Amino acid sequence: MLEKFIANSVAKPGHSPVFSNPKDFGFEYEDVTFKASDGITLSGWLIKGKKEKVIIFTHFGMQSSRSGYTPKGKGVTKPYKKEINYLNTMRHLIKEGYTVLMYDLRNHGNSEKGIIEWIAGGVEEYKDVLAAVNFISTHNDYKDSNIGLLSYCMGANSTTYAYGIENGLQEYKNIKALIANQPIVISDFIKGYGFSEKKVRGANEINLERGGVDFYASCLSNVKNITVPTLVVQAEGDPWANLDWVKEYYNELKVEKEMYWIKGTTKRLESYDWFSHSPKKMLEFFKKYL
């Protein structure tokens, strides 16, 4: 049944191993764990730099982990043929002296399965962002640090949802900046693959019936609650995104903001590796606000 295949393709965590390690790059780090508000244990790396500035990195969902994306084990439906190692991006931040927290979202990597076992597009994963920020904010070494949030795709959704709830991220005055790389609505993502509205709605019904989250859920109403300068990143040729929705996300921001359009690619996942080889915009933005 095509609708079930569609639902599984975007809501099953899939193959998301932690396939690299900071020691391979010569970074000083420690393995850390911390709990979300619903008791889910999250696993990560704390890569140590200066204590004054911390970047919290939240990866995209659906077959990714803190270390990145690998096409190995993805079968014939792999969304990208190349490996993305996020440590290649983090090395630029570490070189500038930032401490970096990288962690696995629930249902991914080495973190525990969530109470909802399906990927929720940020509706559940916002708890993980809050947990990561709280971990740094209560850490003996970093409780007085300024925090920058580097959030990709579902990670950007999760971060945005975390700003829209009571006692959410807006309560953390130590957060100074956010980079939201390609936030998205899951239904738009599916349509970008060429599936009809009827098929998307059918897949959504299957996901809801098994305890998943609405594919049409949008974090847009939460954007106005973001309280820190925000850089929105989007590939101009991304075939899986609704660019009008991304523009609306940007327009809803009530803070200092910038829009950074990545040109010259038609592959969405290439944008998640962009700062590994073109870090200038990322570094300039965090330097300005942290």
Largest CA distance in the chain: 53
Domain extent at residue 117 = 2-289
For 130, the enclosing helix (H) or strand (E) is helix 126-137
DSSP 8-state symbol, 67: T
* CB neighbours of residue 227 within 10 Å: 17
Output Rg (C-alpha) for the chain, integer angstroms. Answer: 18
Q: What is the edge-to-edge ordering of all strands in the sheet holding 230-235?
A: 29-35, 41-47, 99-103, 53-58, 146-152, 175-181, 230-235, 257-262
Number of domains in the chain: 1
Residue 19 burial class via C-beta count within 10 angstroms: exposed 0-12, middle 13-18, buried 19 and up: middle
From first to last of the 290 residues of the chain, give the pLDDT tens digit: 799 988 888 898 777 899 999 999 999 999 999 999 999 999 999 999 999 999 999 999 888 999 999 988 766 667 778 999 999 999 999 999 999 999 999 999 999 999 998 999 999 999 999 999 999 999 999 999 999 999 999 999 999 999 999 999 999 999 999 999 999 999 999 998 889 999 999 999 999 999 999 999 999 999 999 999 999 999 999 999 999 999 999 999 999 999 999 999 999 999 999 999 999 999 999 999 99
CATH of residue 257: 3.40.50.1820
Pairing of strands 99-103, 146-152: unpaired
CB 197 within 8 A of CB 187: no
Rounded Cα distance, 238 and 240, in Å: 6
pTM of the entire predicted model: 0.97
